[in-house]
Chain A
């Protein structure tokens, strides 16, 4: 007797049970590797802001735990949103809608990694950082994915907090607490998220509408979204420059955040002025693409400054730059 004879389809005919078709690559994709790489960078900046030196092995392991925790929340998001993903061109090839990983496998994978990353971070650093990571996973998987995403146009504004927490978790892992500097890093990512995602949503609003996701362009229209992108960018740019005046951004950070901030502002104005006219999608995609580079540059320059020890604030940096007394 075969082990599979008790499995029948709705017509009573014998069928073959599902055999997992996921490759290692599919499981890796469930972790949203591109988001994870940004989490690693931003958490690392939070880690190096610590006044106390961190053991490199512990620092590396803490970063890994934070990255895996972020990946786990991405996996749980894909599990919950598989129905939406299947209806959108951008996400229809993700492992669950593509049929290579079953929802149950993704759920088990996400929960295992969530619990594992939180416990590991707690054991190697402190339980405040671990609790913060657990809260972030909960916030992204439950508050954003299960609740906000399908119910409000402010979904990515509030939900964006989950993506903004990693620098604070990194700082917490190193020090056991959070401070104003790490909060400003949180604020930069938090304010960056809406213009970044709304630029994409302007182009993909048809997809979001078909999938029933109340993104801002779907609910309030493209014109209102363009205004919101401009307003958020106007607030974001000075906040992103603020570290230079708070003692943890140097001259290089000041220059980069000012120049790229001006470019962000120019792109937001271009989107606003273009309106529904020709080149609207192009302007939105330019903003979407550049916003990634913007955030990457801000954190990469800050990391370089902190690593080479010249990120001690505008005053000192300027003094050093002009050959004065540091």
Chain B
């Protein structure tokens, strides 16, 4: 059966992997927000200057 193939994680391993995944997700989200605000800060008032 395919479900039995591969490595079966213990409960502790799953818990630790989840902790890494959640932290990574939060960091990536924070990076997106940071890049957005840095872009706005770098562009300054020019952000409104675009051809209509």
Contact = CB atoms under 8 A, between A and B. Distances in A.
Contacts of A55: 41
Given A1-B5, A4-B7, A21 B13 contact: yes
A17 B37 CA distance: 43
Contacts of A4: 6-7
Contacts of A20: 16-17, 20
A115 interface: no
A19 interface: yes
B19 A24 contact: yes
A326 interface: no
B28 interface: no
Contact of B16 (A3, A22, A64): A22
Is chain A's interface secondary structure helix, strand, loop, or mixed overall? loop
Is chain B's interface secondary structure helix, strand, loop, or mixed overall? helix
Contacts of A127: none
Contacts of A2: 4-6
B41 to A, nearest CB: 4
Given A2-B5, A2-B6, A57-B37, A24 B42 contact: no
B34 interface: yes
Given A2-B5, A19-B7, A21-B13, A27 B20 contact: yes
Contacts of A17: 7
Query: Interface extent on B, as a size class?
Result: 20 to 34
A145 B24 CA distance: 28
Given A19-B13, A24-B23, A61 B34 contact: yes
Interface of B: 4-7, 9, 12-13, 16-17, 19-20, 22-24, 34, 37-38, 40-42
The list of the 10 closest CB pairs from A to B, nearest first, reads: A24-B23, A57-B41, A23-B19, A3-B6, A24-B19, A23-B16, A55-B41, A61-B38, A57-B37, A19-B13
Interface of A: 1-4, 16-17, 19-25, 27, 55, 57-58, 61, 64, 124
23 contacts: A2-B5, A2-B6, A3-B7, A4-B6, A16-B7, A20-B16, A21-B13, A22-B16, A23-B19, A23-B20, A24-B19, A24-B20, A24-B22, A24-B24, A25-B19, A27-B23, A55-B41, A57-B38, A57-B41, A58-B38, A58-B41, A64-B34, A124-B42
Given A20-B16, A21-B12, 20 more contacts: A2-B5, A3-B6, A3-B7, A4-B7, A20-B17, A20-B20, A21-B13, A21-B16, A22-B20, A23-B16, A23-B19, A23-B20, A24-B19, A24-B23, A55-B41, A57-B38, A58-B42, A61-B37, A61-B38, A124-B38
